[in-house]
Chain A
Amino acid sequence: MRPHKHKMIHSLFLINCSGDIFLEKHWKSVVSQSVCDYFFEAQEKAIDVENVPPVISTPHHYLISIYRDKIFFVSVIQTEVPPLFVIEFLHRVADTFQDYFGECSETAIKDNVVIVYELLEEMLDNGFPLATESNILKELIKPPTILRSVVNSITGSSNVGDTLPTGQLSNIPWRRAGVKYTNNEAYFDVIEEIDAIIDKSGSTVFAEIQGVIDSCIKLSGMPDLSLSFMNPRLLDDVSFHPCIRFKRWESERVLSFIPPDGNFRLISYRVSSQNLVAIPVYVKHVISFKENSSSGRFDVTIGPKQNMGKTIEGVVMTVHMPKAVLNMNLTATQGSYTFDPVTKVLTWDVGKITPQKLPNLKGIVNLQSGAPKPEENPSLNIQFKIQQLAISGLKVNRLDMYGEKYKPFKGVKYITKAGKFQVRT
């Protein structure tokens, strides 16, 4: 008989950026921390944290890791397993921490180590996911609040629920039972992001719109919602929260669902690539380095383009300058800029664009003396936001609620943002 190895996740180590293992959890027999040495080795080899390979093979184990919020979640695996299964699960763990503690940081985890342990215990049994839905977990283990921790410390009562969440047994595992609100509200945020690569000459190499609908649903009872769009054909590829009835979408292009309670992502979608993507901003740039001189010129102007008459705000430009750059002497007509001489990152916080007076950042780039002229100009990464606009033109038609008698308050908000928006220079 072959020596039996345990499938799925065997152990989990949380490691901070300075390489301290600050939490470990084993679902089967204990694996020594020394297994992480292989991880540290790989980490050293990688240029930066982003390049640490997510899957590492060691003589007796496999390490599958994710990097989130300055923490490495390193899981120890013994046998064949779909790597995405583990990766997706680890992210779900990080999401849960974020959800429970407001942030997924080392401090938050250390401060709530007991809850963290209880959560990990519920989320994984014998290395196999058990309960990962936030609605269910919150019924099993109450999130910490200041008030509750005070009460608990006085009364000695617990954070652990003593009845099994009904959801586990119902056909709607994502919704807890007995939800009650005095104000019944349903909010939908349609958030679209423009991913684009703009080339040197200002023409679009690649652009597409990715969107999500994030919902905040606070409705009593068991509401059954239908959300329809004016122009559902725009949505080319959609991925759903498990609550959505797939067949109904297939046949009628209506989102029909019994929502989880609270905040959740209803769908993510990609807008059909046939549609031309409007690019709301343009960037004029002159970045040049003179041969045999230790300085260069930097001059960037950002202006509105196809912005549908809306204001472009929250504009931020980040540039990873070449290594040879020592510092930068710039003047911004609007907003403020910083240059970090260590990481060589230039950040220009522009704010709102007013078409009358276009924001401009201009000045001198100082290079290390003797260093050769940089080969390539850096790409400019632009962020922006446009309120009350879904750039694809997607519009919610109506929201209907069945199954409950009260009249909920409904709201839809549109917002367009830059996604991975890059201008090559």
Chain B
Amino acid sequence: MFGNGLSYSEQGAEAAPELVQEAAPTTTPSAPAAFGLFSSDTKKNEDLKQMLESSKDSAKLDAMKRIVGMIAKGKNASELFPAVVKNVASKNIEIKKLVYVYLMRYAEEQQDLALLSISTFQRALKDPNQLIRASALRVLSSIRVPIIVPIMMLAIKEASSDLSPYVRKNAAHAIQKLYSLDPEQKEMLIEVIEKLLKDRSTLVAGSVVMAFEEVCPDRIDLIHKNYRKLCNLLVDVEEWGQVVIIHMLTRYARTQFVSPWKNDEVVEEYSENNFYESDEEQKEKDRKVKNTYTMDPDHRLLLRNTKPLLQSRNAAVVMAVAQLYWHSAPKSEAGIVSKSLVRLLRSNREVQYIVLQNIATMSIQRKGMFEPYMKSFYVRSTDPTMIKTLKLEILTNLANEANISTLLREFQTYVKSQDKQFAAATIQAIGRCATNITEVTDTCLNGLVCLLSNRDEIVVAESVVVIKKLLQTQPAHHGEIIKHMAKLLDNITVPVARASILWLIGEYCERVPKIAPDVLRKTAKTFTNEDDLVKLQILNLGTKLYLTNSKQTKLLTQYVLNLGKYDQSYDIRDRTRFIRQLIVPNEKSGALSKYAKKIFLAQKPAPLLESPFKDRDHFQLGTLSHTLNSRATGYLELSDWPEVAPDPSVRNVDVAESAKEWTGILGKTKKEKPAEKFYSESEEEEDESASTGSSESESGSESEKEDKEEGSSDDSSGSSSSEASSDSESESKESAAKKTSRAAAENDSENIKRKAKGISKESSTSGSSDTESISSEESSSDSKSESDSKSDFESGKSRSPASSKKEEKPVQDRKVPNKQDVYLLDLDDFCPVTTPVAVPTAAVLSPSVTADLEGLSLSSSSVIDVTTQVSVPTKTHELLHRMSGKGLAAHYHFSRQPGIFGDRMVSVQVTVTNTTDQKIENIHIKEKKLPPGMRMHEFNPIEYLEPAGSITVSMGIDFCDSTQMASFQLCTKDDRFDVNIQPPVGELLLPVTMSEKDFKKEQGMLTGMNETSTTIAVAPQNSTRLVIIERIVKAANLGVVPSGHDNILRFAAKTVHSGSLMLVTVEMKESSTAQLIINTEKTVIGSVLLRELKPVLSQG
């Protein structure tokens, strides 16, 4: 067509100028079809160019719409490139989008011009709006211009650390694009993939696995550490990602686990009951004991976590799970997929087609799986033929002694079908049943013989062919049928059928000695008019008769051979010459002719009637290759199970490594992060509890449970899941987890952001601090013990810190002894996570629902919740200089974790370093000199600090919402040093989330005296929204309030001690000034904060 016919339009311009007038502009893009093809395009383009140059957005938009219309029709619009590309920086977002559409289509053809647009995308990559960042990356990476590869690489790297998971998802997509543009980048891209595989966002998971499959499917080692995480978050990944991940994990399972089939043969045949009974796992266990096969718990995890996806509405997901079970589950379990596959048969014809193909392959190997659903494969007259034949195929595979009579009755209906192609297929099917099930061979044969008198020739012909095959299996009794068929020869014209009859008569000519020569006589007469196929069989018949009954047929045969000698087909001439040499004795004929009879009338093996799907099983089910029955490009062979399982510990997250990180933060108290709850890395938790024996009184039963599970594969989990109560618990957990994933995403991105800034220590500590009581539930998601689920539930609550204000003390008390217990392991700070717990007041709701709602209410209800900190300041303050501290140095910074020691305390992290060359012992706090009202929660004494050692501990100080210093003494065994901590006012706050509406409402109540404001000249580099947010939340612990207005930024917090609201508004004005407004009843702090925020914005 003229898809790339640039020359056409130019040509057209010269050739037909007179048509130009006709091409009046029209708003509907489809209209051009009506006009002269070439000329009108050119004219239109002129006019489009003008519109694109226009100053009005509406004209430009109109032009772009028409251009997109042209692209959609496959017309060439490439000459407009210069005019279009100018608009890439348009402010109008729709124009911009359409320009993007255009660029993606033509950039490859006009590389030089395309480069003009690159800077725009580079700018857009830094845009505060994640949508714009994402789409800039999308377009940039879709411009297939090799010269920008380095820019793309950079953009991908940056985007992979973006705060927004949506942008990171796009980064994963861009990896594949860059790889196909320049495979040289593979190594660098693998690094990005490795990083994104660690991403905990469900949004990213599917896309990065896709990239993995595309770029480095052989790097299975990258998966190990992420395997359990992927299994655990699979249910929450979007459906397309699920398909990709399941396919990848299927390959993974086949390389990393041993075959569950080896000792399985005994129970090969599937019995339905096995799968729907609750004691399924129990049985399995028994069997395992017998066979000494133990499934790797990770293998079980995969099977267990994919099973719910059989309920997906997406056929591709269901099929993916089905093939996973087929290729990697114990044979006795694969049966659970049949019901879901049968369900898919209600879907549209394309889905039916693929699913039926796969069922056809499965049903050959394991009839039992689908036998209970046999009637679902009954054919309707309205089914398309391709569906009918597939159903028939499956029915034939399912046939056995028990159901054959029912099936044959059904087949009888099909034979009469108006769809003759299908009727013929049915006859074949009957033939197959007849050979496979000896009980019915005779019945089938009789039935087929009846069909020989059918009116329809196709039916008769097919019957003949099938009967021929059947007779070969037991020719002894069937002289009558052969006679009957000989008579048919007078009427039947279908070559295959005629050939079959002739072959039969020839082969069994001794059983019909009278008829056979007569048949030869008749066919000799018609020889010249027969089809080649039939001619060959006439020659065959003649030969065989010549050998057995030469007296009667010698002349006839010679006549036929003469005809054959001069036949037009060389094949027939060849055959004639060959036969003549063999059977007609003459001086030249060699020794072979003696054996002619043996050669021609040898006992021939009966043909096997087999399913065309028989050899498809070497392709992975659900693949394109399986559907086509040939290897598609890029098909990855499913490897055989390894003889010996590769080291399963590779999937554990490195204990030593994590421990190292943890020791560095001794005494640092943890605030539990909802983020990690969701994607909790169970392995981490398992290792932790197992190896350290971390024995918090509360978690005792839990870790025990885990140990057990680790040891005995997780069969136990299956059995315990049958209890309704524990199930419901688990549900509440799961949903709670779901609900918090939003917070998770934020938090998560926060981590990444910090990492990007190179504050690796901070991020690694918070990164590893994640999973606490949480993760146990993920790892043993079915086996919820009471305590387990309870603790989880609590932790779910603690996520809404607004409600977690009360009953702080008792919990704290309980903590103290525990800490001592595990002190040596430095892991104590992992225990207190469940500390600040209060049952929420919404008692009307069931616990599970409440848990669900916690996360949800954030955006919609007017509850004001304390959120996790938005940013952690990196700035550290000096507490004690090493010179004045005799070699002991101390720094502190504000970790912005709410309420660890008490809801009114600000948490401070103190890092103590020993710069001497001797051990410093017993570092502790004494002689607190606090202003009235202020309180302090000291850190636990540090027993000793090795030379050059450093340790970080946490303490809490209640500053009473004032900026007064907290003075105390830092003591060692021998010395005392006076130190003090003075908080910046921004650290006296806790961020809260609220809706814009609530913000305005609250602001309305805090006017007059309670409002302070000032105008600031904003430094130019601070003029974007994102930068301002970043700088402000860094300076003060404020929560960002979503704002509907681009120029207004809102932040909210409350003071730590009294909980008074602190509302900050930044209103961007023209000429780089901004209005900063603070509303609070704590006017003193308010004005101090105002003073502190000013330089934040005005300075670079």
Chain B residues, Cβ within 8 Å of A78: 633-634
Residue B235 lies at the interface, judged by CB distance under 8 Å to chain A: yes
Asked if A51 and B385 make an inter-chain contact with CB atoms under 8 angstroms apart, the answer reads yes
**With contact pairs A117-B72, A126-B173, A320-B418 given, residues A110 and B30 touching in the complex (Cβ less than 8 Å):** yes
Chain A residues, Cβ within 8 Å of B413: 199, 424
**With contact pairs A88-B315, A247-B730, A403-B857 given, residues A375 and B416 touching in the complex (Cβ less than 8 Å):** yes
Choose the segment among B111-119, B338-346, B362-370, B1079-1087 that binds chain A (4+ C-beta atoms closer than 8 Å): B338-346
Asked if A87 and B351 make an inter-chain contact with CB atoms under 8 angstroms apart, the answer reads yes
Chain A residues, Cβ within 8 Å of B744: 171
Residue B973 lies at the interface, judged by CB distance under 8 Å to chain A: no
Choose the segment among B306-314, B497-505, B886-894 that binds chain A (4+ C-beta atoms closer than 8 Å): B306-314
* Cα separation A325 to B74 with both chains bound (whole Å): 45
Interface residues of B in 108-149 (CB under 8 A from A): 108, 129-131, 134, 138, 141-142, 144
Interface residues of A in 225-277 (CB under 8 A from B): 226, 236-242, 245-248, 250-252, 256, 258, 265, 268, 270
Interface residues of B in 395-417 (CB under 8 A from A): 410, 413, 416-417
Asked if B308 and A53 make an inter-chain contact with CB atoms under 8 angstroms apart, the answer reads no
Question: How distant is A144 from chain B, measured CB to nearest CB, in Å?
Answer: 12
Chain B residues, Cβ within 8 Å of A62: 624, 628, 632
Output the nearest chain B residue to A374 by Cβ-Cβ distance. Answer: B418
Taken residue by residue from 49 to 61, chain B's Cβ proximity to chain A (1 for < 8 Å, 0 otherwise) reads as 0000000111001
Choose the segment among A161-169, A304-312, A333-341, A391-399 that binds chain B (4+ C-beta atoms closer than 8 Å): A161-169
Output the nearest chain A residue to B2 by Cβ-Cβ distance. Answer: A33
Asked if A153 and B418 make an inter-chain contact with CB atoms under 8 angstroms apart, the answer reads no
Asked if A222 and B859 make an inter-chain contact with CB atoms under 8 angstroms apart, the answer reads yes
Output the nearest chain B residue to A165 by Cβ-Cβ distance. Answer: B131
Residue A390 lies at the interface, judged by CB distance under 8 Å to chain B: no
Asked if B313 and A126 make an inter-chain contact with CB atoms under 8 angstroms apart, the answer reads no
Asked if B340 and A237 make an inter-chain contact with CB atoms under 8 angstroms apart, the answer reads yes
B144, B339, B342, B628: the one contacting A29 at CB < 8 Å is B144
Q: Give the interface SS of chain B, mostly helix, strand, loop or mixed.
A: helix
Most chain B CB within a 10 A radius of its CB, from A8, A125, A132:
A125
A7, A22, A88, A164: the one contacting B314 at CB < 8 Å is A88
Asked if A23 and B72 make an inter-chain contact with CB atoms under 8 angstroms apart, the answer reads yes
Residue B671 lies at the interface, judged by CB distance under 8 Å to chain A: no
Asked if B634 and A164 make an inter-chain contact with CB atoms under 8 angstroms apart, the answer reads no
Choose the segment among A293-301, A350-358, A376-384 that binds chain B (4+ C-beta atoms closer than 8 Å): A376-384
**With contact pairs A55-B624, A82-B319, A173-B238 given, residues A239 and B313 touching in the complex (Cβ less than 8 Å):** yes
Residue B712 lies at the interface, judged by CB distance under 8 Å to chain A: no
Residue A210 lies at the interface, judged by CB distance under 8 Å to chain B: yes
Residue A25 lies at the interface, judged by CB distance under 8 Å to chain B: yes
**With contact pairs A7-B210, A51-B386, A169-B164 given, residues A205 and B30 touching in the complex (Cβ less than 8 Å):** no
B74, B207, B455: the one contacting A128 at CB < 8 Å is B207
Question: How distant is B1038 from chain A, measured CB to nearest CB, in Å?
Answer: 20
**With contact pairs A82-B243, A84-B319, A239-B343 given, residues A422 and B731 touching in the complex (Cβ less than 8 Å):** no
Interface residues of B in 53-75 (CB under 8 A from A): 56-58, 61, 65, 68-69, 71-74
Question: How distant is A239 from chain B, measured CB to nearest CB, in Å?
Answer: 5
**With contact pairs A7-B210, A251-B727 given, residues A24 and B625 touching in the complex (Cβ less than 8 Å):** no
Residue A70 lies at the interface, judged by CB distance under 8 Å to chain B: no
Taken residue by residue from 733 to 771, chain B's Cβ proximity to chain A (1 for < 8 Å, 0 otherwise) reads as 011001111101100000000000000000000000000
A22, A195, A239, A402: the one contacting B853 at CB < 8 Å is A402
Chain B residues, Cβ within 8 Å of A7: 176, 210, 213-214, 634
* Cα separation A424 to B385 with both chains bound (whole Å): 18
Question: How distant is B327 from chain A, measured CB to nearest CB, in Å?
Answer: 13
Question: How distant is B382 from chain A, measured CB to nearest CB, in Å?
Answer: 6
Asked if B351 and A84 make an inter-chain contact with CB atoms under 8 angstroms apart, the answer reads yes
How large, as a class, is the contact surface on chain A? 35 or more
Residue A102 lies at the interface, judged by CB distance under 8 Å to chain B: no
Residue A156 lies at the interface, judged by CB distance under 8 Å to chain B: yes
Output the nearest chain A residue to B66 by Cβ-Cβ distance. Answer: A114
Question: How distant is A291 from chain B, measured CB to nearest CB, in Å?
Answer: 11
* Cα separation A87 to B378 with both chains bound (whole Å): 24
* Cα separation A33 to B2 with both chains bound (whole Å): 9
* Cα separation A277 to B688 with both chains bound (whole Å): 56
Asked if A83 and B385 make an inter-chain contact with CB atoms under 8 angstroms apart, the answer reads no
Asked if A91 and B348 make an inter-chain contact with CB atoms under 8 angstroms apart, the answer reads yes
Asked if A251 and B183 make an inter-chain contact with CB atoms under 8 angstroms apart, the answer reads no
Residue A77 lies at the interface, judged by CB distance under 8 Å to chain B: yes
Asked if B3 and A30 make an inter-chain contact with CB atoms under 8 angstroms apart, the answer reads yes
Asked if A372 and B455 make an inter-chain contact with CB atoms under 8 angstroms apart, the answer reads yes
* Cα separation A258 to B853 with both chains bound (whole Å): 10
Output the nearest chain B residue to A424 by Cβ-Cβ distance. Answer: B413
Question: How distant is A266 from chain B, measured CB to nearest CB, in Å?
Answer: 10
Output the nearest chain B residue to A153 by Cβ-Cβ distance. Answer: B58
Taken residue by residue from 1 to 36, chain A's Cβ proximity to chain B (1 for < 8 Å, 0 otherwise) reads as 100111110000000000001111110111011100
Give the 7 A-B residue pairs with the shortest CB-CB distance, closest first.
A158-B94, A79-B634, A251-B727, A156-B58, A171-B741, A50-B384, A376-B416
25 contacts between A and B (CB under 8 A): A4-B180, A28-B180, A29-B144, A66-B350, A78-B633, A81-B624, A87-B354, A117-B68, A125-B170, A129-B238, A168-B166, A170-B742, A170-B745, A171-B855, A237-B339, A242-B312, A245-B735, A247-B734, A248-B735, A256-B735, A373-B455, A375-B418, A378-B381, A402-B849, A403-B857
User: CB within 8 Å of B: which residues of A?
Assistant: 1, 4-8, 21-26, 28-30, 32-34, 47-48, 50-51, 53-55, 57, 62, 65-68, 77-85, 87-89, 91, 110-111, 113-114, 116-118, 121, 125-126, 128-130, 132, 153, 155-160, 162-164, 166, 168-173, 177, 195, 197, 199, 205-206, 208, 210, 221-222, 224, 226, 236-242, 245-248, 250-252, 256, 258, 265, 268, 270, 320, 322-323, 372-376, 378-379, 381, 402-404, 420, 422, 424
